[in-house]
Amino acid sequence: MTNFSADWSRRNFLRGALATGALVLPGSGFLAGCATSGGGQEQTEGEKTADNPLGVPTDQPLEIYIFNGGFGDKYATGIHEPMYSKKYPDAKINHKAEVDIAGALQSRFVGGNPPDFVNDSGDGQIPLGQLVSDDQLYDLTDLFEAPSWDDPNKKVKDTLVPGAIQQGTFGDKPYVLHMALTVFGLWYNKTLFDEHGWTPPKTWADMTELSKDIKAANIAPWAYQGIHARYMTWPLLTMAAKLGGPDVLKAIDNLEKGAWQHEAIKESANALAGLRSAGYYLSGTEGMDHIQSQNAWSEGKAAFIPCGSWLESEQKDVTPEGFEFAFTPEPLLSGDSAMPFETIYAAPGEPYIVPKQAKNPRGGLEYMRIMLSNEGAKGFTKETSSLTVVDGSADGVELPAGLTSAKKALDAAGDDVVSWMYQTWYAKMWNPGINAHIGDLLAARKSVDEFTAACEAEAQKVRDDDSITKYTR
Amino acid sequence: MARKQTVRGRVSKPGPALQHGKYLFIVAFLLLPVGIYGLFVVSPYVQAIFISMTDWTGLTASQKWVGFDNYVKLFADEQFLVALKNNAILLVVVPAVTVLLGLFFASMLNVGRRGKSGVEGVRGSSVYKIVYFFPQVLSVAIVGVLFKYVFAPTEAGGILNGFLRAIGLDSIALPWLGDPNFAFWCVVLVMIWSFVGFYVVLFSAAMQSIPKDIYEAALLDGANRFTTFRHVTLPLVWDTVQVGWVYLAIQAMDAFAFVHIMLGISGGPSRAGDVLGVALYRSAFNDYRFGYASALGVVLLVLTLIVAVLFLRVARRERVELS
């Protein structure tokens, strides 16, 4: 028998405590508390009929997550959800509006019990490429092959603008529905331009001429989103594509060696960097964020700013009276260009997904079919002031001035619409990667050659990283 | 140890009745607290170390074991090295400047003036004491947003640049947070500003417990203010300084909220203002590489432990007994 005081040392105490802890750890509480453990849930499916081509289980609830950001969630509660309820009166709709999608849903993806339909957008967006390579998304092929809501003789895919499905396609399958059609270009205040008798230039030479006049009027010719300098990659690549043709962009998407060092990219980068050396950027714009720079532009401190067509609603609260939003495509770098001036960058945006492990994925698909109906798309445009990927859905809808101007430009572009995929496929390469480099270029911290070399290095990083799934188009 | 045992040895030996079921008795008491500790403290650490050796993306229920791959990648990542360098700067500059400023202000507030009744605080010290504590009351997020506007470019209503222009210093009215040479140092400045108030109060409390007669004796001996501070005040508050020093070092290792708010998630212009906390957050919640982010977290944990131990060792010094 050992002596209590002699053997009861601190060391033994700790040993005993650890042993107790170790006994507790493998218990059920530990396993349930594991961050990486998951389960699964039963999926239901209804019978496919002419009236119900996607086989929606008519009496099963549908859980919907809408990102409550710039677009709000009224388009869902006011238009699409009532349409679904009307067709399936026995199905209960469980609507959730959420600001932080990842915060709300990451653990549910891991746990294998995600909702049936998700608007994966905003600051808390879960990267789509990552969801696809983790096999978390439901294949949308059935949706696009199904007859459309309005006309059973027309498939859903035939009601959309070109490129709409491509934008959500990874490998050979569509996984993401992009609803909004965003038009990118340069924005200006038409009232201000009319006052001074300025017209938006069609060539870069004219842009430099006009910038001289604008500067003489004590206004900065250009502003950009400062620390989010990646907004400037849009004019950079669009102007490069106009000069060198759309293959310039394809090479970038396919991560081809030397894609970023193409002559057209260098030419375009040179033009944008030239605005810095000529002093045509708003003073201090490189140190602002998107809110500060766009507000300075709204206040009339700068003439042009690059952005997507959400700008008008984003600036709604700070737009002064008499300000008229207007859109113009980027000027041509040279008279000898591969594509016309009217060419614009337009990309389907605002992603919607159906999780692969959802309880009611067919209901999710049907909900998408409703969104892509004529009524659904028109309602979306009315509620959000955004164009949609549904062909002709904005015709006859009264749009605000800026969007009208952008739509006109889109119509004028016809088939000369460019877009690219690397931003979605390799999100990290674009931001923070290229975001930092173009910031350096525009603040004259990097030369054009250093900039293109740095972008090449970012592409190289993606090529070398075998944990990233690669795609080609 | 041996001495303690002899002391304990004097205690009368417990009888067989007490010995019986001794462990069961102890374990019964320890089970719950140790269990809770194990579940909520130990298990997350163990899980983080486990995750750091997998390729987990944070979105799946399964993951592949990759051994030390994440750690190898980490030390080959130049952005990690940028963040590491910045954390090193924070570790040296923030505690040093904050402690020095805190000691200076505290001594001014408490023993800065030589009045009729010996030493006392400078005029208006009771007001200053409250004012210095203001930053501590504001949340870090508010401080960050506030200073984002202080350092904003002139055209975006930057307060600092407005002031500089008003006094004719147009040439140094720079876009502070947009310049890789200054952006990180702006954050350092703001961190010191927001930390210093707390340490003024902490050191003040310590200084108030120093008996006034020691100062009177020093006065009679003709010691000037600096000598008094160096040989009377400082040794007597050294314990508190040591605590503050370690606490500050750990605070400075973080810096996540300041950098995230003032410079953004990419680490500011040219990504030059990155710190480990932000790099960790970015890897996890932007890139969805939880395995890699956990590896970063484990490295940060080890570094913080090393720093805490080192600072405690360095600051160890003979204690002056007051009584």
pLDDT by residue (tens digit) across B38-72? 999 999 999 999 999 999 998 888 889 999 999 99
Q: Is A255 inside a domain boundary? A: yes
Contact (CB<8Å) A287/B178: yes
Write out chain A residues lying below 8 Å of B42, CB-based. Answer: 21, 25
**What are the pLDDT digits (tens) for A132-177?**
989 999 999 999 999 999 999 999 999 998 888 988 999 889 999 9
Q: How far apart are CA A283 and CA A279, in angstroms?
A: 8
What is the average pLDDT value for chain B, to the nearest integer?
86
- Per the domain annotation, does A7 fall within a domain? no
Are B271 and A6 within 8 A, CB to CB?
Answer: no
Cβ–Cβ under 8 Å, residues A262 and A251: yes
In a shared domain, residues A440 and A297: yes
* Partner-chain contact A287 B271, CB within 8 Å: no
3-state secondary structure labels for all residues of chain B: CHHHHHHHHCCCCCCHHHHCCHHHHHHHHHHHHHHHHHHHHHHHHHHHHHHCCECCCCCCCCCCECCCHHHHHHHHCHHHHHHHHHHHHHHHHHHHHHHHHHHHHHHHHHHCEEECCEEECCCCHHHHHHHHHHHHHCCHHHHHHHHHHHCCCHHHCCHHHHHHHHCCCHHHCCCHHHCCCCHHHHHHHHHHHHHHHHHHHHHHHHHHCCCHHHHHHHHHCCCCHHHHHHHHHHHHHHHHHHHHHHHHHHHHHHCHHHHHHHHCCCCCHHHCCCCHHHHHHHHHHHCCCHHHHHHHHHHHHHHHHHHHHHHHHHHCCCCCCCC
**Minimal CA separation from A250 to chain B, in Å:** 24
Residues in chain A: 473
A222, A188: one domain: yes
The pLDDT-based confidence of B6 (bands split at 50, 70, 90) is very low
8 Å CB contact of B35 and A106: no
Gap from B93 CA to chain A (nearest CA, Å): 25
A438 & A292 share domain = yes
Shared domain for A68 and A167, answered yes or no, is yes
Strand partners, A189: A325
Band the pLDDT of B242: cuts 50, 70, 90.
confident
Query: Looking at the predicted structure, is the pLDDT value of residue B308 above 90?
Result: no
Residue A413 lies in a domain: no
Report if residue A459 sits inside a domain.
yes
**3-class DSSP assignment, residue A188:** strand
As to burial, measured by CB atoms within 10 angstroms (0-12 exposed, 13-18 middle, 19+ buried), residue A148 is: buried
* Residue A122 and residue A202 in one domain: no
Question: What does the pLDDT read at residue B117?
Answer: 64
Task: Please tell me whether residues A169 and A99 are part of one structural domain.
Answer: yes
Residues of A in contact with B151 (CB under 8 A): 287
Backbone CA torsion sign across B267, B268, B271, B272: negative
The residue in chain B having the minimum alpha-carbon distance to the alpha carbon of residue A298 is B156
Contact assignment for A111 to B42 by CB distance below 8 Å: no
**Whether A325 and A433 share a structural domain:** yes
Does a structural domain hold residue A41?
A: no
Choice between A2 and B132, residue whose per-residue pLDDT is larger: B132
Q: Are strands A417-418 and A344-352 parallel, antiparallel or unpaired?
A: parallel
Nearest chain A Cα distance for residue B85, angstroms: 19
How many distinct structural domains can be found in chain A?
A: 2
pLDDT recorded at residue B186: 95
Q: Which residues of A touch B263 (CB under 8 A)?
A: 227
- Specify if A4 maps to a domain: no
CA of A443 to nearest chain B CA: how many angstroms apart? Answer: 9
B37: chain A residues, CB-CB within 8 Å: 21
Closest by Cβ to B266, choosing from A3, A29, A431: A431
Cβ within 8 Å of A, B 50-79? 51, 54-63
Instruction: Give the number of A-B residue pairs with CB atoms closer than 8 Å.
Output: 174
Amino acid identity of residue B189, one-letter, is: L
- Same domain for A223 and A106: no
Give the number of C-alpha atoms closer than 13 A to the C-alpha of residue B67, restricted to the C-beta side: 2
Find the CATH number of the domain harbouring A252.
3.40.190.10
Of the candidates A132, A190, A183, the one whose C-alpha atom is nearest the C-alpha of residue A344 is: A183
Position B10 confidence tier, pLDDT thresholds 50, 70, 90: low
Separation CA A238–CA A256 (nearest Å) = 18
Whether residues A221 and A238 fall in one domain: yes
Amino acid of residue B164: L
Contacts of A429 in chain B (CB under 8 A): none
Domain region containing A458: 183-345+420-464
Please tell me the predicted confidence (pLDDT) of residue A352.
96
Strands B113-115 vs A417-418: parallel, antiparallel or unpaired: unpaired
pLDDT, residue B122, reads 79
- Provide the pLDDT for residue A117: 96
Mean local confidence (pLDDT), B193-212: 91
Note which residues in 434-453 of chain A have CB less than 8 A from chain B: 435-436, 439-440, 443, 445
In a domain, A263, yes or no: yes
Q: Looking at beta carbons, which residues of chain B come within 8 Å of A34?
A: 47
Are A237 and A363 in a shared domain?
Answer: no
Residue B199 phi/psi, 5-degree rounding, is: -75, -25
Asked if the C-beta of A106 comes within 8 angstroms of chain B's C-beta atoms, the answer is: yes
Where does the pLDDT of residue B239 fall: very low under 50, low under 70, confident under 90, or very high at 90 and above?
confident
CB atoms within 10 A of CB A97: 16
Q: What is the pTM of this model?
A: 0.83
Q: What is the pLDDT of residue B102?
A: 94
Residues 248-287 of B with CB under 8 A from A: 263-271, 282, 285-287
Q: Which of residues A424 and B294 earns the better pLDDT score? A: B294
User: Between chains, do A1 and B16 touch, taking CB under 8 Å as contact?
Assistant: yes
Same-domain status, A294 and A323: yes
- Positions of chain A with pLDDT under 70: 1-40
Q: Which domains does chain B have, with CATH numbers?
A: 20-70 (no CATH), 71-315 (1.10.3720.10)
Q: Are residues A165 and A275 in the same domain?
A: no
